[in-house]
Amino acid sequence: MIMTTIQAKFNLPYTYQVVFTRDAFNPENRVISTVLGTAGKANRVLVVIDSNVVATNPALLSRIEAYAEQNSQLLDIAGAPFIMTGGERCKQGPEEVEKIHALVNAYHLCRHSFVMVVGGGAVLDAAGYAVATAHRGLRLLRLPTTTLAQNDAGIGVKNAINKFGRKNFCGTFAPPYAVINDFDLLDTLSARDLRAGIAEAVKVALIKDRSFFNQLYDHRITLGKFEPSIMESMIIKCAQLHLDHIQNSGDPFENGSSRPLDFGHWAAHKIEDLAQDDIRHGEAVAIGIALDALYAYHKNMITEIERHKILSLLEQIGFTLFHPVLKKMDMAASLKEFQEHLGGRLTIPLIKGIGNLVQVHEIDTRLLDQCVAELSEKYKPKGKSDEKRTQPNAGNESAGNVLS
Ligand SMILES: NC(=O)c1ccc[n+]([C@@H]2O[C@H](COP(=O)([O-])OP(=O)(O)OC[C@H]3O[C@@H](n4cnc5c(N)ncnc54)[C@H](O)[C@@H]3O)[C@@H](O)[C@H]2O)c1
Ligand SMILES: [Zn+2]
């Protein structure tokens, strides 16, 4: 028998800025100090930085130190920067997260302290999880360093590490204090990682914005060459569409069963689980988009011209739209895993025409197998065994100044 019910209800407004800039650690650049200035004076700041950012841009460490010295009224750096293993490896177990917890403890950081994380989406995810869980949450300042982190992973409200061989199994919803997208940080990025993030722009255009899709299509050749001005406007527009969804969907912390921004992702996450280090998130997303676009075509949800435009945009950006693990995927089990991660009823985002999202609750897995066979026929590298994937432009590209 219920004696008493007390209804708890409160609303909490969240605001944070996503600032686009260049050369953020130049003493003349006031973006970081302005952001920290909003919090008060002499903020304690732990710096966490992606190991591959340091390896390709070693001068960055001394530049951060010099910036902190020049802005010592606002920045009180706690110890040496923590150099976190870059790439998906930092998400594979709890080790890197625990190292950040230990530093927060050792430096006596409090909930008003900042952790400034400079890195790709994987480092931002793992460090963000550590920051959200130490003392139940310190202030997180993100400086994303990949295309994908600047236009998607680094600007939103989620963080995670993998567990039980499953992507993003442990994580929280925790909005950052601020995000600073410094385009110059992309200068050291490999072509492979410059490209990977473009998949998220294609994704968000397909579900939300037909004219953005057409712009991407019209600029597909220059995009494929990572021409800086087109990359930068693509990043800004993509970030804007993601933030628009977070702000205006009515479900920023994904309490419902649907996750529209995950178009192409149910398959992408499984491909990443199976392919491990062999594939980037954005590359898996490109394959997931191709698979779901083919499926939508066979279900008469998009026209042949639309299917052609989607696949050729991805191809011309340089994506390989097949991976051998696709053939090992149990479609029904993969869909079930996706459903379990989201909760509730199976809800797969698909498109009915470019720019028009629809939610689908039943998927024909035999048709999916047929779509995989079509992708395999069209994109499987010829003359190679299934185990060895050729990644055009992936392996031996220099990490040089593709953008500058
Ligand atoms: N939290 C979210 O909302 C969200 C959204 C999308 C993706 N993600 C996650 O993001 C991760 C993928 O992120 P990503 O595509 O940025 O890949 P990544 O973080 O794995 O980075 C790719 C590689 O580039 C290196 N790198 C990063 N910046 C560099 C730079 N400027 N110069 C040279 N090397 C650099 C990294 O160390 C890594 O080796 C996945 O784990 C994915 O699940 C999270
Ligand atoms: Zn994604």
pLDDT tens string 219-230: 999 999 999 999
CB atoms under 10 Å from CB of 84, counted, come to 28
Q: Is the CB of 151 under 6 A from ligand 1?
A: no
Give the ligand 1 atom nearest the CA of 121. 13
**Confidence at residue 380, expressed as pLDDT on a 0 to 100 scale:** 81
Please compute the mean of the pLDDT values over residues 368-383 and round it to a whole number.
89
Q: Which is nearest to 285 in space by CA: 253, 323, 257, 251?
A: 323
Mean pLDDT value across residues 185-195: 98
pLDDT for the residue numbered 239: 98
Q: Which two tokens stand for residue 25?
A: 């650690």
Least confident of 42-46, 120-124, 400-404: 400-404
Tens-digit pLDDT profile for residues 261-309: 899 999 999 999 999 888 999 999 999 999 999 999 999 999 999 999 9
pLDDT of 155: 97
274 Cα–ligand 2 center, Å: 16
Q: Determine the 3-state secondary structure of 76 from DSSP.
A: strand
Nearest ligand to the CA of 147 is 1
The pLDDT score that the predictor gives to residue 383 is 59
Burial readout 106-136 (b: 16 or more C-beta within 10 A, e: otherwise): eeebeeebbbbbbbbbbbbbbbbbbbbbbee
Give the residue with greater pLDDT, 314 vs 37: 314
**Mean pLDDT, all residues of the chain:** 92
Question: Does position 396 have pLDDT exceeding 90, yes or no?
Answer: no
Q: Is the pLDDT of residue 93 over 90?
A: yes
Q: How far is the CA of 169 from the centre of ligand 1 (A)?
A: 17
pLDDT-derived band at 368 (thresholds 50, 70, 90) equals very high
Model confidence at 389: pLDDT above 50? no
Kindly give the distance from the C-alpha atom of residue 290 to the centroid of ligand 2, in angstroms, as a whole number. Answer: 14
Rounded to whole angstroms, how far apart are CA atoms 371 and 294?
6
pLDDT of residue 390: 36
Ligand 1 neighbourhood includes 158 CB (under 6 angstroms) = yes
Whether this prediction's pTM lies above 0.85 is answered by yes
Q: Whose CA is nearest to atom 38 of ligand 1?
A: 87
Q: Which of 25, 48, 49, 52 for mutating ligand 1's site (highest number of atoms within 8 Å of CB)?
A: 52
Q: What is the pLDDT of residue 108?
A: 97
pLDDT surpasses 90 at 120: yes
User: Which pLDDT score, from 0 to 100, does residue 400 have?
Assistant: 30
pLDDT at 388 over 70: no
Distances in Å between the alpha carbon of 323 and those of 240, 269, 288, 343, 350? 30, 13, 10, 28, 21
Q: Indicate if ligand 1 lies below 6 Å from the C-beta of 91.
A: yes
Compute, in angstroms, the gap from residue 95 CA to the centroid of ligand 2: 24
The answer, yes or no, to whether any atom of ligand 1 lies below 6 A from the CB of 117, is no
Rg (alpha carbons) of the chain, rounded to whole number: 21
Q: What is the pLDDT of residues 29-51, one digit of tens each?
A: 999 999 988 877 789 999 999 99
Whether 177 has a pLDDT exceeding 70, the answer reads: yes
Q: Which residue has the CA at smallest separation from atom 22 of ligand 1?
A: 87
The conformation of residue 394, written as its DSSP 8-state character, comes to: T
pLDDT at residue 310 tops 90? yes
What tens digit of pLDDT does each residue of 332-366 get? 999 998 888 888 889 999 999 999 999 999 999 99
pLDDT above 90 as % of the chain: 83
Q: Is pLDDT larger for residue 41 or for residue 239? A: 239
Report the percentage of the chain scoring pLDDT > 70.
94
- For ligand 1, atom 3, the nearest C-alpha belongs to 153
